[in-house]
Chain A
């Protein structure tokens, strides 16, 4: 009978499946960090900050950085 998981703000009478926020939070942190790392390497590495020294990453993703609108020079 008990059917509420994490109750939506205005719980509707009809059953709507939701994803429990606590369970989702773990994934958001995990993937959020991964995504930030990926975005960093494409958008900013070896521009303002260099993680491996040199310009190989910068040069390789150079065109994507310009065309996807990230600051570059």
Chain B
């Protein structure tokens, strides 16, 4: 009991969260730069295609054209310049801070609890699992779609499916980490990790197969679609990589300070 209150000063949840938010904001800024440089050209291409389709009198989905918003009942029109700069930045910063903060709390939970993994090792693992569970797995079933792809009528179902898969993926990832940590005592660490990873893949595969498939591509050009999706994945990878590197650095240093503190107190207590 004795050391708990004094531990709080260095290794508190707030200390992790503060670092997670800071790292997340920087990661959001990096993601913005990547998205702006690599993704925006294809968003513009997609919107140009959408407007060309809307200009045709019998075109389906003409009412979904992004720029044809009506100016009544709270409908506003935001210029493309604002959408692709300040609007995009708002989104990446918010998502960066949210994911960075959550990752830092997860890093706090596993620190010192995953066998012989160091503070840096367990933090990097959190970011890797976060990328796979939050981004990569939902992306494989419901990949990012450019403007002009996806109907307004199906947005409810698509949103539910996407977040359903995301939820199952994240909860399963947490569950298999706990499972691996138990199995570690019966088998060796690698065996435990492989069993857990296999279990995760099995659960998310079955879930993804049960969820409805979305195909609303129509005659959207395949090359633009692929370039857009690639740039989206690169943006998300940049976001998670930045969170991983930044958090590993800061949590590692925080842990070193806490460990030095603890060692000092051990020494003082032994005198």
A residues whose Cβ falls under 8 Å from a Cβ of B: 1-3, 5, 8-10, 12, 15-21, 23-24, 26-28, 31-32, 34-36, 38-39, 41-44, 47-49, 52-56, 59-73
Check: B16 CB closer than 8 A to any chain A CB.
yes
Option from A15, A17, A59, A64 in Cβ contact (under 8 Å) with B95? A64
**Minimal Cβ-Cβ distance residue in B for A60:** B87
How large, as a class, is the contact surface on chain B? 35 or more
B5-33: CB near A (< 8 Å → 1, else 0) gives: 00110111110110000000000000100
Nearest CB of A to B213, in Å? 14
- Asked if residues B113 and A8 are in contact (CB atoms below 8 Å), the reply is yes
Query: Chain B contacts of A19 at CB under 8 A?
Result: 11-13, 16, 108-109, 111
Closest 6 CB pairs of A and B: A64-B91, A54-B74, A69-B144, A48-B159, A16-B112, A35-B98
Determine if B155 is an interface residue (Cβ-Cβ < 8 Å). Answer: yes
> Which of A10, A17, A71 lies in contact with B185, CB distance below 8 A?
A10
Q: In the complex, given contacts A17-B258, A61-B94, A71-B145, what are 15 additional A-B residue pairs having Cβ atoms less than 8 angstroms apart?
A: A2-B3, A12-B116, A15-B259, A18-B111, A18-B113, A27-B17, A38-B95, A47-B155, A49-B159, A54-B75, A60-B78, A60-B83, A64-B90, A71-B155, A73-B64
